[in-house]
Chain A
Amino acid sequence: MIKRSKKYSVFSLMKNALSYHENWQPAWRNPEIKKEYDAIIVGGGGHGLTTAFYLAKNHGIKNIAVVEKGWIGGGNTGRNTTIIRSNYLWDQSAAIYDHALKLWEGMSQELNYNVMFSQRGVMNVAHNLHDVRELKRRWHANRLNGVDCEWLDTQEVKKFCPVINTSPNIRYPVMGATLQRRAGTARHDAVAWGYARGADSMGVDIIQNCEVTGININNGNVTGIETTRGTINSKKIGVVSAGHSSVIAKMVGIKLPLESRPLQALVSEPVKPVIDTVVMSNTIHAYVSQSDKGELVIGAGTDGYNSYSQRGGFNIVEDTIMAIVELFPLFSRMKMLRHWGGIVDICPDASPIISKTHINGLYFNCGWGTGGFKATPGSGWVFAHTIANDQPHALNAPFSINRFSSGELVDEHGAAAVAH
């Protein structure tokens, strides 16, 4: 009954070329909704799809629905700046993000789908003595956790990324940088599509245009969800709805420590290769890389107030552009082509929540804030484990919702290498 999507290869490419590429099969089905599933994942973004994928692959639970209110790749998965790294300060974060990075390294093979993962290195630049101390501290913490990291002085920074302005006379001079060579970027849409195709081929139903309007509970056990396309029953429900996590939580009377805010990004007109790494600066809040199409991909900061409107203030964009132009004067005449916002759910400690709740069978994976994309495979991996076994994986045990009562916060604000 389950029809496996055809394996992509050079031969399938040649075969389809003969029919002018008009006979490619859809990458995943558009299934009828069943009455009941073994597990339902709310939210068809990267983290939701990887959760379904690893539930099916690692835990043998294949009767799964992923319900998505919009379309696959239309939320934050398609709105981020595609940076992947694992150079986090604290042990708990380094462990989970580095687990994710290892999965990134094998992802294209695992999915038979080219996610264009490019380990071009991520450089975090220091602009003052405090930065230097903080980044060196993180460099040593990374080394102790087995995460690759190097320290570059100003000359080495210039050598690694020749277009950066290392003049000592700019307002925030480059005083050095950390470099994680295993870090890099990937094609974000391909990640969503690849996991959707992979999950679908194992029998997972991906249901788009289906919005959750309620969660049914009986005697403290979850029994199903109400959606715009009817009731769907399941004893296990994993909520992975990013910016809208508080909205879903409110349906069952749970308050989460989240603030949903707009986060903006923009891309320039495409140009020839000019920057072959990712440059991030915490102090002046700028980060930039170049996509394979040639566009500069620039990430701005979050707006300072809660909003679900998927658009932010122009002043935030202006601040980022000013910083980029100071660091890269040759970009000053670049034209920006597109600009957008996504809604990110920020935790007080800038670390995620991957946790059971007091309702049996209801799980939350949220709070990834401004940096969830890099964790996509690792997040799904541990969340699938949590749902399948009804207890957290060792990697996500520190990220329980209970840490806000116990005080065991994993404070990555600032330590996460870019201001949130």
Chain B
Amino acid sequence: MLLINCPYCGEREQEEFSCGGEAHIERPKNPPDLNDDQWADYLFLRQNIKGLQYERWNHSFGCRQWFNVARNTATDDILAVYKMGEKPPVLESNDPITPCGEPAIGSGNFSTLKKS
């Protein structure tokens, strides 16, 4: 379970929030000009990143404001919180450390742990 630092209310439990998925997906500027593949890309295709992901959250059981979160989806570490409309912060990619990107907890995939 995550602790999320709402930019308006401070740190609250994740249960108060809803995740809005990948951030910074722009609505097409000229919708009538799009072909079916471009629509599919906008509507359905997602990066589904393992590692640093920029995503939208809504404080749905709090201030009901939208904001952005940078989170490592391999470890669930929250790296930055920033408001809507702001540029995503440039962060150390903080990519998973093992070859298969398994977090140290949970997976039990010890055979591929990178030797430090």
Contacts and interface: CB of A to CB of B under 8 A. Distances in A.
Interface of A: 69-70, 74, 209, 211, 213, 228, 244, 246-247, 250, 255-260, 304-311, 313-315, 341, 345, 348, 404-407
A259 B21 contact: yes
Contacts of A313: 1-2, 14-15
Contact of B105 (A250, A255, A309): A309
A307 B46 contact: no
A315 B1 contact: yes
9 contacts: A255-B46, A304-B18, A309-B75, A311-B106, A314-B1, A315-B13, A315-B14, A341-B106, A348-B44
B80 to A, nearest CB: 16
A309 B106 CA distance: 7
Contact of A228 (B1, B71, B73, B112): B112
A255 B41 contact: yes
B109 A69 contact: yes
Contacts of A406: 36
Interface string B18-49: 11010000000000000011011101111111
Nearest to A228: B99
Interface string B58-76: 0000000000000101111
Contacts of A345: 48
Given A255-B45, A306-B55, A309-B75, 11 more contacts: A70-B107, A211-B112, A246-B46, A255-B41, A260-B73, A304-B19, A305-B19, A306-B48, A306-B73, A308-B74, A405-B40
B105 A311 contact: yes
B36 A211 contact: no
A70 B109 contact: yes
Contacts of A209: 111-112
A341 B106 CA distance: 8
A344 to B, nearest CB: 12
Contacts of B73: 260, 306-309
Contacts of A255: 41, 45-47
Interface centre among B18, B40, B55, B71 (most CB of A within 10 A): B40
A234 B41 CA distance: 30
A311 B76 CA distance: 9
Contacts, number: 101
B111 A70 contact: yes
Nearest to B106: A310
B2 A259 contact: no
A306 B47 CA distance: 11
A305 B55 contact: yes
The majority secondary structure among interface residues of chain A is: loop
Contact of A69 (B13, B15, B18, B112): B112
B111 A259 contact: no
B10 to A, nearest CB: 19
Contacts of A258: 46, 48
B101 A259 contact: no
Interface centre among B18, B48, B71 (most CB of A within 10 A): B48
- Nearest first, the 8 closest Cβ-Cβ pairs linking A and B are A246-B48, A305-B19, A257-B44, A310-B106, A313-B1, A255-B45, A405-B36, A209-B111
A350 B18 CA distance: 20
B77 to A, nearest CB: 10
A88 B96 CA distance: 38
B100 A211 contact: yes
Contacts of B45: 255-257, 404
A205 B109 CA distance: 21
B99 to A, nearest CB: 6
A74 B108 CA distance: 9
Contacts of B40: 257, 404-405
B12 interface: no
A347 to B, nearest CB: 8
A309 B76 contact: yes
A67 to B, nearest CB: 12
B18 A244 contact: no
A348 B39 CA distance: 14
A257 B45 CA distance: 4
Contacts of A306: 19, 21, 48-49, 53, 55, 73
A244 B40 CA distance: 21
A420 to B, nearest CB: 15
Contact of A247 (B2, B44, B50): B50
Contacts of B88: none
A146 to B, nearest CB: 31
Contacts of A404: 40, 43-45
Contacts of B74: 308-309
A304 B73 CA distance: 13
